[in-house]
Structure 1
Amino acid sequence: MSILKKPRSLESSRQGDIVSLKDSIKALLKAYRLQGKLNEVTVVASWERVMGKAVALKTKEVYVSNGKLFVRLTSAPLKHELVMAKTRVMELINSEVGEAVIKEVVFL
């Protein structure tokens, strides 16, 4: 009488090695210290979506440096209006990224 063993499946033996793609990418970004730069790029890329088409059309340049968002506008009245709502703009941008990337907004 021989005892037949169930063959171990390859999947179950490697179950402990499986890491989700999301976790792998996070680990990679952390290892290479790229998360901060990626967040800055996300801020610039999402400017039109967050602020709307009308503001984007009057925006000449958007860039991030040392936690500050610099926005060059072509309309003085729009600049004045956005300066008054600076805190709200910062909140919208940071909520889009999911963390506090921007510490200050400067309108040029």
Structure 2
Amino acid sequence: MAKRLSNESSIGDVLKEIIQSNKLQPGINQVAVNDAWKNLMGNGVNNYTQKITLKGSTLYVELTSAVLRQELSYGKDKIIKMINEELQSEVVKEVVLR
């Protein structure tokens, strides 16, 4: 049972409690990472992106172009840094390109 918050709690505190008690954070992170990928990579990469999945702290990206997959593999650390900066938290620690 969720703990009862006082009537003076801010909306942010109430939302954090709801997210924590209902274990919604992984789903919120999945949506946020998906949006960050689309915003940061642009149309060129998004045209070849099939599926983006976040499992734990590992981001799995399925691409239809082997050449693009090879090019992005050289910049995995930069991709991780850019996504985490966009989300303002340490969500992604590893990227796997498929």
Taking only the aligned residue pairs, the percentage that are identical comes to 33
TM-score under structure 1 length normalisation: 0.76
**Given the alignment of the two structures, is residue 97 of structure 1 paired with residue 63 of structure 2, yes or no?**
no
- Cα shift readout 1:32-64 (whole Å, capped 9, x = no counterpart): 222233112211233211211111111111111
Whether 2:59 is the aligned partner of 1:37: answer no
Q: TM-score, normalised by structure 2?
A: 0.82
Equivalents in 1 of 2:77, 2:60: separation in Å?
14
Q: 5+ residue gaps in structure 1?
A: 1-15
Which segments of structure 1 move beyond 2 Å, counting only runs of 4 or more?
Answer: 16-20
Once residues 66 and 91 of structure 1 are traced to their aligned partners in structure 2, the CA distance between those partners, rounded to angstroms, is 17
Alignment of 1:1-108 (within 5 A): 17-108=7-98
How many Å separate the matches in 2 of 1:26 and 1:91? 25
Q: Distance in 1 between matches of 2:69 and 2:7?
A: 53
Q: How many residues align?
A: 93
- 1:79 to partner: Cα distance: 0.9
Gaps of 5+ in 2: 1-5
